[in-house]
C-alpha cells in the first residue's frame, strides 16, 4: 500500500496499477483493454472538451493554489471567439506545452467560474474542511485477485465515527435520470467499491465509509447536487467488481483477451422503423 502526492499526468500515465476507468474499459471490451494497456497497439483515448472542462473545474476547486489556466487574449481569436486564427492556435499550443489549460474569458465566465463557486458552496454545506485529504494517490493490491489497483479520491473526510469519500463530477445538466445514465455509461457503478477498498487499505479504516458523488452543471443554473448509490446496488456493484477483477486475473494468466460472445453467432433485431411502409406492401 502506498499513499503519495503526484500530478494528474503522473497518476494517469501509470498503467501498472488498475484504475476505475481502466477497469470499465476491460468490462466493455477485453480486447481493447489489452491493446491499450498491455500490447500498446491501441492509442489512449483523447480527452474531450467536456473532460478538459471537468479537469479544470476539479483543479480550481481542489487545488486553488495551483495556477493551471491561462486566458486566451480575445484580440488573437477569430471574430466569433474561436481559436481558429494562426496566432490563437500558436498561443494554445504554447500554453499546453507549459502544462497549463488555455481558456477563453467567455468560457471561464459562462461555464467554469459559476460551476466552481457552486461546488464550493456545496462542499461548505457538507462540512468539508481544508485539512481533509485532497487528491492523494492510493495504490494497493486486491487480495482475492492479486491485481494491483490505484485510485485518486477527490476528498477523503475522516471523522470520528465515519469516513466520507467525496467525488466531484461535472455535467451539462444535472437530473436524477441524467446522472443515472452517467453511472451506467461511464462505469461510476464501479467507483464506490474501488475507492472504498483503496481508502480502507491506505488509511487502515475500520469505521463505516460513505461515498458521495457531488455533481455540478456547467450551464445555467449551475446546480450542484449530491448522489449516492442505493445500498443494495452498492453491495451488488462490489460483488460485480470483485468478479471482474478475478476475470482480469484469469485473462492475464491465460492470455485470452477475446471479447465475450466473439466465438458465437449473435442474432440481432432490426429497428422496426426500417420496415415502415414496406411491411404492409406499401411503396413510396
Instruction: Please give the pLDDT value at position 46.
Output: 87
Task: Give the model confidence (pLDDT) of 191-234 as tens digits.
Answer: 999 999 999 999 999 889 999 999 999 999 999 999 999 999 99
Q: Which residue spans within the chain are E strands per DSSP?
A: 2-4, 69-72, 101-104, 133-134, 137-141, 148-151, 155-158, 163-171, 209-217, 224-227
Q: pLDDT tens digit string along 139-165?
A: 999 999 999 999 999 999 999 899 999
DSSP annotation of 268: -
| pLDDT at res. 56 | 95
Q: What is the pLDDT of residue 281?
A: 61
Mean pLDDT of the chain: 93
pLDDT digits (tens, 9 = 90+) for 64-111: 888 899 999 999 999 998 999 999 999 999 999 998 999 999 999 999
pLDDT at 204 (0 to 100): 92
For residues 174-198, one letter each, b for 16 or more C-beta atoms within 10 angstroms of the residue's C-beta and e for the rest, the string is beeeebeebbeeebbbbbbbbbbbb
Average pLDDT value for residue range 273-277: 88
C-alpha cell at 142: 486486491
Residue 121 has pLDDT above 90, yes or no: yes
User: Which residues contact residue 210 at a Cβ distance below 8 angstroms, ignoring those fewer than 6 apart?
Assistant: 162, 163, 164, 165, 228
> Is the pLDDT assigned to residue 282 strictly greater than 80?
no
**What's the whole-model pTM score?**
0.88
What confidence tens digit (pLDDT) does each residue in 241-251 have? 999 999 999 99
The rounded distance, in Å, linking the Cα atoms of 58 and 192 is 18
Amino acid at each position: 500500500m502506498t499513499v503519495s502526492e503526484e500530478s494528474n499526468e503522473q497518476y494517469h500515465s501509470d498503467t501498472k496499477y488498475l484504475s476505475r476507468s481502466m477497469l470499465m474499459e476491460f468490462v466493455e471490451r477485453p480486447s481493447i483493454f489489452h491493446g491499450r494497456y498491455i500490447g500498446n497497439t491501441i492509442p489512449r483515448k483523447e480527452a474531450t472538451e467536456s473532460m478538459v472542462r471537468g479537469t479544470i473545474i476539479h483543479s480550481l476547486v481542489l487545488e486553488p493554489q495551483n495556477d493551471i489556466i491561462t486566458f486566451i487574449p480575445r484580440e488573437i481569436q477569430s471574430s466569433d471567439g474561436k481559436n481558429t486564427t494562426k496566432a490563437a492556435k500558436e498561443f494554445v499550443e504554447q500554453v499546453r506545452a507549459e502544462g497549463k489549460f488555455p481558456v477563453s474569458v467567455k468560457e471561464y465566465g459562462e461555464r467554469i467560474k459559476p460551476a466552481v463557486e457552486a461546488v464550493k458552496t456545496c462542499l461548505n454545506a457538507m462540512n468539508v474542511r481544508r485539512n481533509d485529504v485532497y487528491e492523494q494517490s492510493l495504490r494497493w493490491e486486491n487480495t482475492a485477485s492479486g491485481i494491483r489497483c490505484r485510485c485518486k479520491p477527490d476528498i477523503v473526510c475522516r471523522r470520528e465515527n465515519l469516513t466520507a469519500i467525496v467525488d466531484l463530477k461535472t455535467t451539462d445538466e444535472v437530473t436524477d435520470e441524467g446522472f443515472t445514465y452517467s453511472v451506467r455509461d461511464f462505469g461510476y457503478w464501479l467507483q464506490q467499491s474501488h475507492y472504498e477498498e483503496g481508502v480502507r487499505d491506505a488509511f487502515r479504516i475500520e469505521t463505516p465509509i460513505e461515498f458521495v458523488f457531488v455533481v455540478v452543471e456547467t450551464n445555467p443554473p449551475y446546480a450542484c447536487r449530491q448522489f449516492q448509490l442505493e445500498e443494495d446496488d452498492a453491495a451488488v456493484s462490489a460483488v460485480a467488481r470483485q468478479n471482474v477483477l478475478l476475470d482480469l486475473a484469469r485473462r492475464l494468466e491465460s492470455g485470452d483477451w477475446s471479447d465475450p460472445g466473439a466465438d458465437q453467432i449473435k442474432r440481432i433485431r432490426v429497428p422496426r422503423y426500417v420496415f415502415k411502409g414496406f411491411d404492409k406492401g406499401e411503396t413510396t
